[in-house]
Each structure stands twice: as C-alpha cells, then as structure tokens.
Chains A and B, each alone.
Chain A
Amino acid sequence: MDDIEAELNAASNIYGNGEFDDNTWGGSSVKSSSSLLPPAVCPERPKETGFHKTLRLCLGSVRDAMLHHRWEDAAKYISHYTHALEDTDSANQLIASEIVWRLGCEILHHHPNSKPEDIIDLYERMKNFGVKNFAKISLDHAFHLLVSSQPEEARRQLSIAESWRYGRQSAAQSQDLNLIRAYRGFLDYITWRNRRSTADEADHHDDSSNPEMHSYFRQASVTLKEVIRHPGTWDPFVLGYIDMLEFYNDQKGAEKVLKDYAYDKAFPANPNAHIYLYEFLKRNDAPKKKLMKVLEILQVLVPSHKLALEYCPLLVDSEDDGNLGKALQVIMDLLEYTSWKHSVNAWKCLWVVVFSMLQRHLQDAVQQEWQKRSELWLALHFRTYHAKKDAQVDRDLLLLKTRVLLTFAGRNPEYRKAATKLISGNNVDD
C-alpha cells in the first residue's frame, strides 16, 4: 500500500506540481484504507504479544473460512478464538465477546450439523458473559426465535430482558432496552390479532376468550403508546397500535396518535406517517379539505408518490383556479420521474387536469407551465424513440400523449409524425 502511494506521489510530482495536491490525496486515501478495515482485522501492529498475534491470525482464518463457506474449518478456528474471551484487557474482551457472538451464530446457523439448541445455548452464554452486550444479544436472540417461528418463546425472552436492571450498565443500553420493550409490545399486538381472528371465526362464540384478548390489548397499547412517544421511525408499531384502537372504536385517539407521528418536529421526516394519516382519514370519511392538507405535505416530501394521482382529482374537484394550477404542477412533477413515464393512468390524469383547465379558460396558465418545462419534456417524452416505445407498451398511451402534445405544443412534427405513422401502421395491420 505504501509503495503504491509513494510511487503515485512520485509520478504526480513528475507530471507537474500544481496538478494534484499530493499530501491530501495520498493522506486521504490512507485514511480511507485504514477506516475500511474493522479494528480486529488490521495489519500487524509494532508491539504485539504472541497471544494477540495468534488471535489476529485466528480471526483472519475464521473470516476466510466463512467467506468460502467452509463451515467446519470456521468452527475449528472459532473454538481457538474463544480464548480471546480471557484477555486481561477489558476493551479487547468486549470486542472478542461481540465477535464470538456474531460469528458463532452465523457459523451455527449455516453449519449442516448444528442443532437449534446449540444456537440458543450460545445466545444464553454470551448474554450472561459480560453485562455490556446483554440488551443487544437479547434482542438478537428474540429475532432468531421469531425467524424460527417461536413467537411465544421470543415474547418470553423479551419480557425477561425488559425486566433486567444493572445500574449504570442498563442506563447505557437504554436505547436497546427501548427496542426490546417495543418489540415485546408488538408481539403482544400480534397475539391479540391472532386471538381476534380466531374469535371472529368462531363468530364471537365464547366470551371467555375476550377478556384474554382485552388483557393483551391493554398490555400492548400501554407499551406501544409509551414507545411511540420517543422520536424515531416506528412504522409497524404505529400501524399495529392504530389497528387496535380502531377495533375498539377509539377514532379520536387514533387520529391524535397519527397526527403526532406525522407532524411532530422531533421525529425524523417520514412520508409513511403522512400516508398512514391519509388512509386513516379516508377510511373514516374525513372532509376533503383535510385530505388535501395531508396530501399537500406528502407531495412536498415525495413528489413521485402514487397518491399524487388521488391528490389531483381532489384538487380538480375543488373547483378552484389556484388549486387547478397546483394540480397541473403536481402531475407534471410526477411525470418527470422516469418510473411514471409509461403509466397510462398518470397521463390520463394529466389530460383530465389540462382539459378542465382549458374548459375554465386557463390556457395562459397551461402555456406558462408548459414553457417552463418544454425543453425537458420534449427530450424526455416526445422523441421518435419514445413514440416507438410507447406503441409497444400501450396504444392508448400513444394516443393520449399525442393529444396532450397537441394541446401543449401545437404542431410538433417529430413525435406526431412518428405517432401517426405507427398508428396508421397498426391500423393497416389490424
């Protein structure tokens, strides 16, 4: 590595001093190379004991074996590596325990002869090995149980982990413990859902299942409410909570939760929050103004979202010139994204908007909008190549686009020529 940099620096010196800033270029590449490697796999350090050298080589061998899927070799080397857990330096010990946990689980997961008890045993051992990794490993353990379809066991592990206290250490791991609580609540919600579906099937037969169901609801809702208050992205938890609240007909509560989730500045910007709010309002027949308000923010966040296609009709129906202009902007913004280029619905929407604007004698506004975007659109949508492609995709699309182009740009020979040729060609075939 050093030789290459020295040579390249020397070369750049020959070709002119002003061209490259040698120091920063060489320096930054060195920095990036050293930051890419995780600490335990670094090249040899000058003063390294034989013990640490052994561990370093061992870890390299484990990594090699794992990358080549030689699971037996990997198991052999990681059994040697476990000695690192006895290192007298506590920082090294922490790193070692994390490595043993993560790599050990991977190896056991993939090894053909491993039994499920082995993995669970490994989790238990590493959890109780030191206190600093307890929450993380518990969470991982729960995920593993969920993946192997043992939700009851997962829930039990999560509630055990939740009630763990260890003074300063548990305070340091509060974020992980938060997650643990959230997942526990979510599993309660899942159980509640299962109970509900069985109750539904049984047609509300036995009331005895209901109290249990209610208790799950209470547990889940308390936890989820608490968790959702913290800033973060809690999409599935929010959905679960809303589901429960709707079942118990607490519309106001649900709306409040969703509004907080979407509008609270402390939370990271999350378009999904607005989508959930919109769908909830739609389900509960909210007035159009409300819907429009929500979609307005969503459109700012994600102009290419499919809900724009619902937003435009709302704006058109509102029969307001300003809104119509806005609708045109929205739909044209949408169509500037390549994923919508061949969508018949989007073009149809555009045609509807343009048509209603023309009906209301807003040609100037239309032309203004078109002037702003004409260069881009002609290149993006209205070349001969596009005509051929559109014909392949959908004939209606071709017709629609021609109509739109006619409105906007009058006679544009290129696209229309190609389009008419294709259409007539198709007609002949038919």
Chain B
Amino acid sequence: MDAELTRGYSVPCERCSAVDWGVSDSGQFYCRSCHNIIERVREFEETEVLSTSSRVTTLSRSSLKKNEKVLGKEWMVIEGFQFILTHQADALLSLGVCSQFKDDVLWNFWRRYLQKTQQAFTQNPINLGRVSADVDSDSALESVALTDVSMQSGPSPGPESELDLGASAGHSSDGGASSVWSGSMDTSGYLNPRFKRRHHLMTMPKTLALCYLALLWVREGITLADLLRFVFERHIPYLHIHDVFPEEITLFGRDAHIFRVESIPSYRRVQEEAMKLARVMELPTFPPISEECLLHPALLSLRYLTEANLPDELHHWVCKVMAQSGLAEESVLTFDHASKAQRNSPIGYDLQACALIIVSMKLLFRLNDHEEWIFSEQAEDHNFADMESPGLFSLTWWYEAMLRALDKAKKREEQHTASQIWKSSKALVFRKKDRTVSLKRRRVVEHLQNTFRKLSGPSPDPPRSKPSSFIFRWGEGEDSDGPSFHQTKLDHVMKTKCDAHVTANEKYWHPVLRQCSKRVCKDHYAEVEATLPRMYVWLLGLFSFLLRVKPSAMHEEVLKVERRFVKCWRRNRQ
C-alpha cells in the first residue's frame, strides 16, 4: 500500500541509504528503516492519484491509521520481562559482577525457564489469551518463528532484534485477538490466576529471584540482602520499569498491573520464589561453595564483622563456631532445590554469617544484660592503664559508638524511604475510561511538585550515593561514623583454669530450640521478644538493619545455628 503512494519516489534515504519509504498520517514521507522524516509531503501526489484510483487511496489510509493506533509494535508480556532482565543484568555488571553472569548464566537460565514453562523454545507453546481457533495457528507460527530466530541468534546482541523479527513474522496487525485494553497481546492470559499457578508465569519479584539464582551460580559476593538494597537505592532497575522500556512499547491497561510495583519484595519472598523457580527449571546441582567463595561463611562473616565494627580477632571464634556446627561443609552450604531440608528453610548466606557472629558473641560475652558489662569494665580498666596500644575490646564503648552511628543511619534510611518515588513520570492508566483522569492527575501532581520544589530551598540532599557494600565507615577521618574497633584485642575473654585455656564466660543461654511444625506456627519472636535480654535484642536489631530484614527473621536464623551448634557440641562431649 505504501509502495503505491510512494511509487514515484526512489531516492535513497540520507541516514540509512535504504529505499523504503512510507507515508505518515499527516502525509509526510518517512523512511521505514530509520524513521527519518523528509520534506516531501504527499499532498500534491494525492491530487494526481485521486483522479484515477481514489478508492484505493482511502482504503490504505485507513489501515495506516489502524497501525498507528496499535502503537507501532505488537509485543508479548514475556518480551517485556526479557527487557527488564537485560537491564537488571546490565546494572549488575556495572556494579562489578563478572560478564559471564549476563552472557552465559542469566541468558541460559532465561532460556531454560521459557523452555520448561513452555512459553517459547518448544514445539507446543502454551496459548495465553488467544480466543479463536484461527488465531491459534498464528500464535503457534509466531512463537515458532520466535524460537527459530532465537535459537539461531544464540546469545542475542540485544532483545530489540528479536522483537522486530517476532513482529514481522507474518503476524497481522489486527490488534490481537484479545478484546482487553492493553498494549501487549497476551495480558488477559497472564493475569489469569489459574494460568499463573499452572504455568509459573513471570512476575516482577520473580525477575529478582532469577537474578539471585544466577548470582548464586556464579558465586558472586552480592548476597540477597545486597540485591534488595541495591533495588531500594535504585541502582538496579525495578521500580520505574516504564523508563526502561523502549519508546514503541507503552504500558497501559492490564499490562500496567503486571509491571507495576508498589513494594520491594521481602527477603523471604524472593528466597521462596527462587526455590520455586529452581524447581520448575529443574536446575542441576549448583557449583559448590568452597572455602574460597565469597559466599562461604568464613569470608562473608569477615565482611559483616568489618561492617559492624567488631574486632578482627572475633573472626577466629566465628570460624570455630562454624566448624563446630557443621556449617563449613560444602554439602550443607550449596544451593540444592531438591533437598527437603533446604526447601523447608532455604539458606540465606548473609543471615547465616550474621547469626554466626551473634552466636560467637553470645559465647564470649554471654549477652544476658549483665556479664558483658562486667567484661567491658575489665577492658576499660586495662585500657585506661595503657592508652597507647589499641587496647582490649570494651563492649560499652563499642555499643555507644555503634548506637550513634546506627541512629544516624536509620534516620538517613527513613528520609530515603520517605522520598522514594514509586510512581513513574508517565502515568500508568489501568482502564480506558480512566485515561483522561489519570493524565490530568499526573499533570496536577507535576505542577504541584514544581511549585513546592521551588520553595524547598537549596537541596541539601547529597546526589545519589555510589553503590557500596558497606553502610558504615569506621576509622579516622571527617565523614567516618566513629572510631574503629577492628584492632582491639580479645585477651580478656580467655582465662586459664587448671592449666587449660577456657573462655572467661562459662555459661551459655539459648531460648527454646525445639522446632514447631511449620504449618501451624508462623514465628514466635513477638511473644518471646520481651523475655530476651535487651542487649541481644539490640544486636538483632543492628544486624537486621544492616541486612534489611525483620528482627524475627534474624532470630530464626540464630536459632537455626544454635540448634546445630548445641547438637554437635553435645555429641562432641559424649
């Protein structure tokens, strides 16, 4: 149809030198490969053509109009998710993850997922949201085309090319068979709860879960807590997906429900999703977590010890506890979706490392709101006597320094949460009749924001901070959070008793370690919390702030470690 209108014109385009002209709605000529608009307008052509074949002209114009209305391209929801994953992977690469993560691991995981859930790369792809039987063949054709293309191109240079091929693979621009108002073609199927359950369709939290699985496979030092923190600090695209999508794809209608996020998923949720995904994808055994891996508790706990400004000597004790409770073995640590134990309580490496630190502190200082302060007094007496050396570790001083820094950090985080922007700059319209209202609302909000922003004075907020693994900075210097305790010694925790070196603290307390049945009881932390020593609760609070989890989760993890520790210790004694 366009050829008719532009048949006289065969000058190659300036930008891309292709001879592929089309006519836009307003009559201007544009190059179809690079969208370059030229001066030539169709008007005088029309008067020529009108006399001979006016009917043909009007027909083609109306079908053109229809094309424009469908916003240029047809797309499936799964392609949208592919976009998102690509951008997330790029962000992770810029954070320092090795490049194999994106090219090999994530891409293969994605392919495997699509294959196992039969959305692509298979002979019988599932139909989502197709209504009539005729169109079924279209979808089969289209998906097969997608698979053919993808398999041939291998790790694609970019998903844009797939999109083009998918769209032009013989699919009519009929606006899709769905009568649902949305940009993508299979939203109604995607939102159907039955389909969701049966086919394990993709959701926004699942993208994070997939990234996490890939990170686990590559055994990078970015833990799940870090991942969620980067999402919160907007270093990884998750919140404003609208901005990530290309121009031709706009989110509206029911698509918006799929891609909109109103909260960052919790740690546990992502863990569960990851486990489910691993099961669906039938992943083989993961590469083992050996002592050299960054995710091994030996190395990870060192990181958290530095973060929490605890003395380096404590690491020795942490390793001892780890060895004692059997958590140093690869078989226990490696992610395995088939093992029932891991399915019931998935491993959180960061939680585990912090729990080990807490248990070792309990071992050394008892943390019953009494003994630890006595130890501190001993340390302080010693320190006052000898001011030059780094001295002994005094819990009181550490606590005061930590408290100050923690309060500041909590305030900063609260401010950040309060200024977090959840709504993107383009209004998401869910229903057709709300379109004008939503756009108007968006305009009003922007106008009001401008008014108030002018009055909010010079912006005292620092620009978006660079991503870093550490929240606190200890040591000398102006913007440090406090004095560093890393060099202090732990001599006072040991004593000699009958020619044997034992810990000065002779007792160890723990709450009830018996596990309740998971189905009935959720978690008992809220009931137990009032009976626990305040120092312990505060310590839980500190580590749960660092990892951005709830204190109850931290407490559960400590209980898990203690179960193993006490059991093994009892066995050793016998």
Contact = CB atoms under 8 A, between A and B. Distances in A.
Are A and B co-members of a single complex? yes
Interface of A: 3, 49-54, 57-58, 60-61, 71-73, 75-80, 82-83, 85-86, 88, 100, 104, 107-108, 111, 113-114, 118, 121-122, 125, 129
B430 interface: yes
A85 B455 contact: no
Given A72-B456, A108-B455, 14 more contacts: A49-B263, A50-B264, A51-B262, A51-B423, A54-B418, A71-B455, A75-B457, A76-B453, A79-B448, A80-B421, A82-B449, A86-B442, A111-B455, A125-B447
Contact of B448 (A52, A57, A72, A125): A125
A100 B451 CA distance: 13
Contacts of B455: 71-72, 75, 107-108, 111, 113-114, 118
B260 to A, nearest CB: 9
B415 interface: yes
Interface in B445-491: 445, 447-449, 451-453, 455-457, 459
Contact of B441 (A52, A86, A122): A86
A58 B457 CA distance: 18
A57 B445 contact: no
Interface in B421-455: 421-423, 427, 430, 438, 441-442, 444-445, 447-449, 451-453, 455
Contacts of A121: 451
Contacts of A79: 448-449, 451-453, 456
B422 A50 contact: yes
Nearest to B441: A86
A57 B412 CA distance: 12
A107 B264 CA distance: 32
B453 to A, nearest CB: 5
Nearest to A74: B456
Interface of B: 261-264, 414-415, 417-423, 427, 430, 438, 441-442, 444-445, 447-449, 451-453, 455-457, 459, 530
A57 B415 CA distance: 8
Contacts of A80: 418-419, 421
Nearest to A88: B430
A329 to B, nearest CB: 63
A86 B419 contact: no
B263 A104 contact: no
B270 to A, nearest CB: 14
Residue of B418, B419, B423, B430 with most partner-chain A CB within 10 A? B418
A108 B441 CA distance: 21
A122 B422 contact: no
Contacts of A72: 455-457
A150 B291 CA distance: 78
Contacts of A104: 448, 452
A57 B417 contact: yes
B420 A82 contact: no
A73 B456 contact: yes
A162 B153 CA distance: 68
A86 B427 contact: yes
A83 B444 contact: no
Given A79-B453, A100-B448, A58 B422 contact: no
A122 B423 contact: no
A334 B418 CA distance: 59
A82 B445 contact: yes
B327 to A, nearest CB: 33
A86 B426 CA distance: 12
Nearest to A52: B262
Given A57-B414, A61-B415, A75 B456 contact: yes
B422 A54 contact: yes
A291 to B, nearest CB: 58
Contacts of B459: 76
Contact of B423 (A57, A86, A125): A86
Given A73-B456, A83-B445, A50 B263 contact: yes
A140 B419 CA distance: 29
B418 A61 contact: yes
A75 B452 contact: yes
A169 to B, nearest CB: 15
A95 B451 CA distance: 21
B442 to A, nearest CB: 7
A83 B421 contact: yes
Given A72-B457, A88-B430, A122 B263 contact: no
Contacts of B262: 49-52
Nearest to B446: A82
Residue of B264, B417, B441, B456 with most partner-chain A CB within 10 A? B456
A53 B456 CA distance: 22
A52 B263 CA distance: 9
A9 to B, nearest CB: 14
B417 A53 contact: yes
B388 to A, nearest CB: 45
B420 A76 contact: no
Nearest to B450: A79
A45 to B, nearest CB: 13
Contacts of B263: 49-51, 53
B448 A58 contact: no
A4 to B, nearest CB: 12
Contacts of A49: 262-263
Contact of A86 (B420, B445, B453): B445
Nearest to A60: B418
12 contacts: A58-B419, A60-B418, A72-B457, A75-B456, A76-B453, A79-B453, A80-B418, A82-B449, A86-B438, A86-B441, A86-B445, A113-B455
